[in-house]
Structure 1
């Protein structure tokens, strides 16, 4: 009987090593988070591996305007078909994009508006008053809302999606989530930046308005489930202990 009790105690304390293993991105004591600056809040900037949808129109987009106003012509129909079959271009690791007629052009690090102006300038020798429409088609962020098994990949359809909007698209902060400890993890040319956001108060709305970038990770810290975690872990042990105790009692009773 003594051996059974010892076995049960060892098994119980051993479960402590497996509780809350679903928690990710833990910060060491004294970890220095990145400071939120105006650069962090700024509009979305193109990065490597972005897929860009680029539409080019001459004469300041005159044909595009006539299409949108319903003016019909064979040329306009051709432009409309081109718009529907827009080609996408991938931003290389060097930050450049290979475009027809002009070759490579550096777009990484630019906002969409800056990139449009840069492309228009590059095509100005080939077309009269070029007009460019640019979109990123593969913007995605990973959101961990504060509960195991609830992570999701959010495709960003708007140019300037905020942290709060991304969380809303993921279903919001879960019951175990700590809204005062939201980590925004971002890769930059200088390395990885980690920002700590407090979204638990109205004052946190400024931080919640940060514009997310492609491949950002939004991680809501979780409250550890100590009680239920231990209960889940020790239930099988208690069951085995009860069975062994019953077996021991039967053996003793037969003597």
Structure 2
């Protein structure tokens, strides 16, 4: 897909989900932020990342059925625009609690459909001093151990760079000079930050710091991140589709 096709992609997504009444759908990630990567040919190589918020509780979402619906709809999008798509299902209670989560902060401020009636205020980002600033710090450090853990099994250079960028965002947001100076030892910097500010870390951060070299740490942290932010483990939450191979 070419960069000039991005507006057409978003228009098609709005049409594809126009008849959906039991979820709210928006884009997140690099395409949503206008920071997508392109390859040597000029084609976009970033994925399309979507958040699908569904209701929880009695009469709420049937996750397997939601996954089936997303598979059908996103197959058409993936094939039409020749782009890999990642759909992430988020249960509404978890979505509401995860205001400082990275995926929330990077969401495109519009719904392709808003069947849950969440409205534009769902895109309001909480300020870091709202309620307990330590909770905001705990959420906003989450991407650092996530990318560090991911780097143990996949694309170490890329994921370590993402971890450092996440650490710099955290340092800039909260004016954390120790974090800026500790990019070469991010696990140590996280431990110092937690102790210095008396932070109760999220489970994903605590798991990573307890065993950063554990062979299974990437999957353990990944699942914890998804449960924290989406209310579902990654295997239930994610629907990943690549363009069909032409026959």
The TM-score range, normalised by the shorter chain, is under 0.3
User: TM-score, with normalisation over the residues of structure 2?
Assistant: 0.23
Determine which structure has the larger strand proportion and give its number: 1
Greater Rg by CA: 1
Determine which structure has the larger helix proportion and give its number: 2
